[in-house]
């Protein structure tokens, strides 16, 4: 991924945070039929040896789980993104030398994939995914809430997957190449526009700036 130095994000906890907040990964790999991509919700688990692992499941009919142990995979996690209008730059009034752009944050995970067939391990993956995404519900649903014979039938039609993460690459293109004044007015413009994705980007920019400032102080 092309990424100028000022857009590069390498802090592992920050990259993991994006994956945890935006867990729908675009899982890509090369096959004999060409490049393929699957969109799979994944759970990131930090690791002591590799950069961590991603766990999830796919339909048994999906050939992705039949890949070779050393076959490379690229998993893309798209974080917040928003259009940035030139009208939001404070320097527009000074010299007019401004153009539109798009702000975004993204993580690339370079992995290899292993299929999980054992029912107990697949159930473990399902429980972890369910517990994660049901955590904010008033009455969290549990896999055990469904009839056992029903879940057993479903298990026969899915395969667990474990992606060993060999490296993570982050790109935070959120106006760092602009003067501090322009960064502030972009945040104001996003908040004033008010769409959910624009507000999310404004918050992301503010939080990222604060985390960088805190890191420099320590």
What is the residue-averaged pLDDT of the chain? 95
User: Above 70 in pLDDT, residue 197?
Assistant: yes
**pLDDT per position as a tens digit, 25-47:** 999 999 988 999 999 999 999 98
CATH number at residue 163: 2.30.110.10
- Does residue 136 form part of some domain? yes
- Does residue 21 form part of some domain? yes
- Does residue 195 form part of some domain? no
The parent domain of residue 21 ranges over: 5-83+103-177
Phi and psi, residue 179, nearest 5°: -60, 155
Query: From the DSSP assignment, how many helices (H) and strands (E) are in the chain?
Result: 6, 8
- Does residue 28 form part of some domain? yes
- Does residue 207 form part of some domain? no
User: Above 80 in pLDDT, residue 214?
Assistant: no
- Does residue 38 form part of some domain? yes
Contact 87, 101 (CB under 8 A): no
- Does residue 98 form part of some domain? no
User: Above 70 in pLDDT, residue 218?
Assistant: no
pTM of the model: 0.93
Question: Between the CA of residue 154 and those of 145, 146, 160, what are the distances in Å?
Answer: 14, 11, 12
When divided into structural domains, the chain yields a total of 1
């Amino acid at each position: 991924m092309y990424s100028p130095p000022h857009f590069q994000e390498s802090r592992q906890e920050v990259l993991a945070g994006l994956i945890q907040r935006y867990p729908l990964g675009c899982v890509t790999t090369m096959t004999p039929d060409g490049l393929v991509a699957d969109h799979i919700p994944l759970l990131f688990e930090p690791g002591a040896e590799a950069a961590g692992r991603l766990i999830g499941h796919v339909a048994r009919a999906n050939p992705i789980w039949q890949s070779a142990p050393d076959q490379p995979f690229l998993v893309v996690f798209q974080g917040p993104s928003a259009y940035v209008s030139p009208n939001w730059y404070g320097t527009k009034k000074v010299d007019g030398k401004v153009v539109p752009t798009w702000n975004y944050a993204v993580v690339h995970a370079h992995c290899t994939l292993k299929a999980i067939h054992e029912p107990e391990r697949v159930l473990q993956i399902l429980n972890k995914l369910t517990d994660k995404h049901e955590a904010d519900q008033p009455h969290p649903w549990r896999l055990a809430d469904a009839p056992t014979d029903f879940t057993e039938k479903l298990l026969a039609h899915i395969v667990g997957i474990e992606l060993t993460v060999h490296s993570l690459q982050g790109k935070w293109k959120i106006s760092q190449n602009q003067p501090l004044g322009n960064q502030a007015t972009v945040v104001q413009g996003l908040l004033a526009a008010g769409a959910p994705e624009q507000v999310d980007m404004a918050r992301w920019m503010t939080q990222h700036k604060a985390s960088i400032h805190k890191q420099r102080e320590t």
